[in-house]
Amino acid sequence: MEKVGLKKSFERLQKVAVLVLCVMLAGSFFSCGKRAEAGGDCPPCKHDDASSDISHYSYIGEDKRYYEVSDNKIMFQYFDGNKDSAKIMNSLQEICTRIRKVTKLSHFDEFMLVELDNISKEQVICLIELWNVSENNTYASPILSEKEGIEFCFVPNQLFVRIKSETDYPLLLKVLKSYNVKSIESKEELLPLLYLVTINDAHRKNSMQIANELHESGLFYSVAPEMVIFVKRYTNDTHYG
């Protein structure tokens, strides 16, 4: 069995001067079926272009690395401090009865991991989108993986921006005016000219989408959503957190 520990990706920056993976969300706008009746299955998901790929990628420099979406796990973040795993389970089962387990993460109190059985990646994305449209106090995010098997998810209301020089801070403030920003906090202890940006409304535009836009503007040295990384170790048990 495996033991799964969690750590926030930017804690590693104390040892290495690099930004975490900047995972950009693409191909996530799908039309979902109606809510399943009690005892039903997950609703079918359809998108306009049947040949389009569900692609999630990160910018490494100017290159893109593509990632797989987990078909058996979803991460939920609470914004109001009211953590109720039973409520999450019951609400999800109104949409999809393939919910197997809901686990509170011991190291990150605001997060819960939901495990599912036998649904497709398309249905996972549909379930995430349907949840985020109907719920305001929690946010569902996909679990992504690399070729090496490392799994991670983005923190929907936080991103890191590293500006090019001290004189670019007014530029950062100007650009962020178009987003619903709650706070901007210096993270000089991690990297010079690094700032943690917290947004108020991830449902309108999440950190991954904002990071995508800021990166493509070319105005900043680097931009990345905050991440939670699953670090796998081979031991006699498995847990999250």
Residue 89: exposed, middle, or buried by beta-carbon count in 10 A (0-12, 13-18, 19+)? middle
Q: How far apart are CA 223 and CA 109, in angstroms?
A: 25
Q: How far apart are CA 236 and CA 241, in angstroms?
A: 15
Question: Using 50, 70 and 90 to split pLDDT, how confident is the model at 240?
Answer: very low
Instruction: Identify the pLDDT of residue 223.
Output: 92
Residue 225 backbone dihedrals phi, psi, to 5 degrees? -70, 150
Residue 184 has pLDDT above 80, yes or no: yes
Instruction: Identify the pLDDT of residue 83.
Output: 63
Instruction: Give domain 20-150's CATH number out of 3.40.50.720, 3.30.70.330, 3.90.550.10, 3.30.43.10.
Output: 3.30.70.330
The residue that leads in pLDDT, 226 or 235, is 226
The residue that leads in pLDDT, 208 or 82, is 208
Report pLDDT digits (tens) over 4-63.
Answer: 444 454 444 433 333 333 322 222 322 333 334 333 467 666 544 433 344 577 676 677
Question: Using 50, 70 and 90 to split pLDDT, how confident is the model at 129?
Answer: confident
Report pLDDT digits (tens) over 65-83.
Answer: 777 889 889 999 988 766 6
List the structure tokens of 164.
């090019």
Residue 180 backbone dihedrals phi, psi, to 5 degrees? -85, 80
List the structure tokens of 210.
């904002």
Q: Where are the domains of the chain?
A: 20-150
Instruction: Identify the pLDDT of residue 198.
Output: 97
Instruction: Identify the pLDDT of residue 45.
Output: 61
Cβ–Cβ under 8 Å, residues 75 and 6: no
- What's the gap between Cα 166 and its chain centre? 29
